[in-house]
Amino acid sequence: MDRRRIVPFALGAVLLAACSNKKPPTTTEEKIEPLKELSAKKVSVDLATPDPGAAYWQDVPAGAATLAAQPMITPRPSISFTEKLIIQAIHDGTRVAFRLRWKDTEKSEAGHLGEYSDAAALQFPVKDGPPPLVMMGQKDGPVHIFHWRAQYQRDEEKGKPDMKDLYPNASVDMYPLEFKEAKALNANASETEKFSPGVAEGNPQSYVKKGVDEIIAEGFSTSSVQKGHGSAAKGEWKDGTWTLVVSRPLAIEGGSTLRPGAKGNVAFAVWQGGKGEVGSRKCVTMFWTPVSIL
Amino acid sequence: MSKVKNWHLQREIEYPYDESRPKKQWAIVFDLNKCIACQTCTLACKTTWTSGKGQEYMFWNNVETKPWGGYPLAWDLRILEKLGRQAWSEKGEYQGKTIIEAAPETERVLHWAPTDDDWMYPNVGEDDCGGGTQDGGGHIPNTPHDKWFFYLPRTCAHCTYPACLAACPRKAIYKREEDGIVLIDQSRCKGYGECVRACPYKKSMYNPYTRTSEKCIGCYPAVEQGVQPQCVVNCIGKIRVMGFINPPWKAREDNPVDYLVHKKQIALPYYPQLGLEPNIYYIPPVHADRAYLRQMFGPLVDGAIQRYKELPRDPVAHGLLCLIGSTDRIMHRFDVKRGIAAGFDEKGEEIVRVPVTEPVVERAAFDPKYNAIRNNTP
Which pLDDT band holds residue A6 (cuts at 50, 70, 90)?
very low
Distance from CA of B115 to the nearest CA of A (A): 5
Asked if the Cβ–Cβ distance from B115 to A116 is below 8 Å, we say no
CATH of domain A24-160+208-293: 2.60.40.1190
- Positive or negative CA dihedral for A198, A203, A204, A205? negative
Distance CA A188, CA B34 (A): 44
A186-190's contacts with Cβ under 8 Å and 24+ in sequence apart are none
Give CA–CA dist B334/B376, Å, rounded: 33
| Contact assignment for A196 to B211 by CB distance below 8 Å | no
A4 has a pLDDT exceeding 50: no
pLDDT value of position A24: 43
Q: Which amino acid is at A105?
A: T
Q: Quick one: DSSP state of residue A23?
A: P
Check CB contact under 8 Å for A279 and B104: no
Q: Indicate the domain borders of chain A.
A: 24-160+208-293, 164-204
Cα A251 to Cα B162: distance, rounded to the nearest angstrom: 43
Three-state SS string over B300-328 comes to CHHHHHHHHHCHHHCHHHHHHHHHCCCCC
Residue from B58, B186, B215, B220 whose CB has the most chain A CBs within 10 Å, to mutate: B186
Query: B53-100: per-residue pLDDT in tens?
Result: 999 999 999 999 998 889 999 999 999 999 999 999 988 999 999 999
Q: What is the pLDDT of residues A125-180, one digit of tens each?
A: 999 999 999 999 999 999 999 999 999 999 999 998 999 999 999 988 888 888 77
Cβ(B294)–Cβ(B67) under 8 Å? Answer: no
- pLDDT bucket at B133, cuts 50 / 70 / 90: low
For residues B280 and B270, the answer to whether their CB atoms sit within 8 Å is yes
Three-state SS string across A71-100, please?
Answer: CCCCCCCCCCCCCEEEEEEEECCCEEEEEE
How many other CB atoms are there within 10 angstroms of residue B263's CB atom? 16
A205 chain-B contacts, CB cut-off 8 A: 189-191, 210-212
> Which residue, B206, B216, B225, B211, is CA-closest to B182?
B216
Are B324 and B240 in contact by the 8 Å Cβ rule? The answer is: yes
Q: Do the Cβ atoms of A206 and B210 come within 8 Å?
A: yes
Q: Give chain B positions within 8 Å (CB) of A155.
A: none
Interface test with A, best of B210, B214, B215, B220 (most A CBs within 10 A): B210
Chain B interface residues (partner A, CB cutoff 8 A): 51-54, 56-57, 103-108, 113-116, 118-119, 167, 169-171, 186-194, 196, 206-212, 214
Q: Is the peptide bond before B122 cis (omega within 30 degrees of 0)?
A: no
Task: Determine the Cα–Cα distance for residues A49 and A57; give it in Å rounded to an integer.
Answer: 14
Q: Taking 80 as the threshold, does the pLDDT of residue A49 lie above it?
A: yes
pLDDT of A3 higher than 70: no
Using alpha carbons, select from B293, B78, B190 the residue that is nearest to residue A278.
B190
In contact, A252 and A227? CB cutoff 8 Å: no
How far is the alpha carbon of A176 from chain B, nearest alpha carbon, in Å?
7
Give the one of B193, B207, B212 whose C-beta lies nearest to A278's C-beta.
B193
Test A78 with B51 for CB contact under 8 angstroms: no
* % of chain B beyond a pLDDT of 90: 87
Of B274, B289, B276, B270, residue with least CA distance to B84: B274
Please indicate whether, in this complex, the C-beta atoms of A205 and B189 are within 8 angstroms of each other. yes
The DSSP line for B20-43 is: ---SS-EEEEEETTT-----HHHH
Judging by DSSP bridges, how do beta strands A95-103 and A119-125 pair with one another? unpaired
User: Which of B108, B119, B186 lies closest to A198 in CB terms?
Assistant: B186
Chain A closest CA to B58's CA: distance in Å? 11
Q: How far is the C-alpha of B221 from the C-alpha of B204, rounded, in Å?
A: 19
Enumerate the β-bridge partners of residue A293: A40, A260
The domain segmentation of chain B, as residue ranges, is 2-21+32-229+273-278
Q: Tell me phi and psi for residue B195, to 5 degrees.
A: -70, -35
Least-confidence region, from A279-293, B111-125, B250-264, B277-291: B111-125
**Tell me: the pLDDT tens digits for B257-267?**
999 999 999 99
Give the per-residue pLDDT at A133: 97
3-state secondary structure string across A144-202: EEEEEEHHHHHHHHHCCCCHHHHCCCCCCCCECCECCCCCCCCCCHHHHHHHCHHHHCC
pLDDT digits (tens, 9 = 90+) for A8-28: 444 444 444 444 444 444 445
Taking an 8 Å cut-off on Cβ atoms, the answer to whether A74 and B107 are in contact is yes
* Domain B2-21+32-229+273-278, CATH class in plain words: alpha beta
What per-residue confidence (pLDDT) applies to B143? 67
Query: End-to-end CA distance of chain A, in Å?
Result: 22
Residues composing chain B: 378
Q: pLDDT for A235-276, tens place per residue?
A: 999 999 999 999 999 999 999 999 999 999 999 999 999 999
DSSP code at position B77: H
Average pLDDT over residues A197-210: 90
3-state secondary structure of B1: coil
pLDDT at B29 over 50: yes
**Virtual torsion, Cα A221, A223, A225, A229, nearest 10 deg:** -170
> Where does the pLDDT of residue A30 fall: very low under 50, low under 70, confident under 90, or very high at 90 and above?
low
Q: Is the pLDDT of residue B123 over 50?
A: yes
pLDDT higher than threshold 90 for residue B214: yes
Nearest C-alpha in A relative to B217: A197
Q: What is the pLDDT of residue B131?
A: 62
B110 close to B103: Cβ distance less than 8 angstroms: yes
Work out how many CB contacts closer than 8 A connect A with B: 113
Q: What is the mean pLDDT of chain B?
A: 94
Comparing CB atoms, the residue among B106, B114, B212 nearest residue A203 is B212
| pLDDT value of position B73 | 94
With CA atoms as reference, the chain B residue closest to A79 would be: B106
pLDDT at residue number B362: 86
B193: closest chain A residue by CA: A114
Which comes out higher in pLDDT, residue B126 or B226? B226
- Region of B37 (left: φ > 0; alpha: ψ -120 to 50; beta: rest) is left
The whole-number average pLDDT for the span B204-226 is 97
Q: Where are the beta strands (DSSP E) in B173-255?
A: 173-175, 182-184, 204-207, 212-215, 240-244
Cα-Cα-Cα-Cα torsion A122, A123, A127, A133, nearest 10 degrees, comes to -160
The residue length of chain A stands at 294
* B5 sits in which H/E element: strand B2-6
Share of residues in chain A with pLDDT > 70 (%): 90
Q: Name the β-bridge partners of B338.
A: none
For chain B, report the end-to-end CA distance as a whole number of angstroms: 61
List, for residues A68-105, the tens digit of each pLDDT value. 999 999 999 999 999 999 999 999 999 999 999 999 99
Give me the amino acid identity at A59: D
CA distances from B77 to A250, B157, B201 (A): 54, 18, 11
- Maximal C-alpha separation, chain A: 79
State which residue of chain A sits closest to B112, comparing Cα positions: A114
Task: State residue B324's pLDDT score.
Answer: 95
- Looking at residue A15, its pLDDT comes to 41
Write out chain B residues lying below 8 Å of A162, CB-based: 53, 209
CB burial string B83-117: b at 16+ within 10 A, e below: beeeebeeebebeebbbbebbeeebbbbbbebeee
Of the candidates A114, A205, A108, the one whose C-alpha atom is nearest the C-alpha of residue B206 is A114
Quick check: B54 and A163 CB within 8 A? yes
Chain B closest CA to A181's CA: distance in Å?
18
**What pLDDT score was predicted for residue B375?**
81
User: Rounded to whole angstroms, what are the CA distances from B43 to A31, A118, B47, B231, B329?
Assistant: 62, 37, 6, 8, 20
Q: Which of B168, B223, B194, B217 is nearest to B50 (CA)?
A: B217
Residue A101, SS3 per DSSP: strand
Interatomic CA distance for residues B319 and B338, integer angstroms: 10
Nearest to B4 by CA among B114, B126, B161: B161
Q: Specify whether the backbone of B348 is left (phi greater than 0), alpha (psi in -120 to 50) or beta.
A: left
Mean pLDDT of B227-232: 98
B163-183, pLDDT tens digit by residue?
Answer: 999 999 999 999 999 999 999
Euclidean distance between CA atoms A250 and A89, whole angstroms: 12
Which pLDDT band holds residue B334 (cuts at 50, 70, 90)?
Answer: very high
Chain A residues in contact with B209 (beta carbon < 8 A): 162-163, 166, 196, 206
pLDDT at A22: 44
Residue B274 has pLDDT above 80, yes or no: yes
Partners of residue A115 in chain B, C-beta under 8 Å: 115
pLDDT at B130: 65
C-alpha separations of B330 from B93, B138, B158, B343 in Å: 32, 40, 17, 9
Q: How many helices (H) and strands (E) does chain B have?
A: 11, 17
* CA A61, chain centre distance (Å): 20
Q: Which of A112, A116, A196 sits opposite B53 (nearest CB)?
A: A196
What residues of A are in contact with residue B186 (Cβ under 8 Å)?
A: 197-198, 200-201, 203
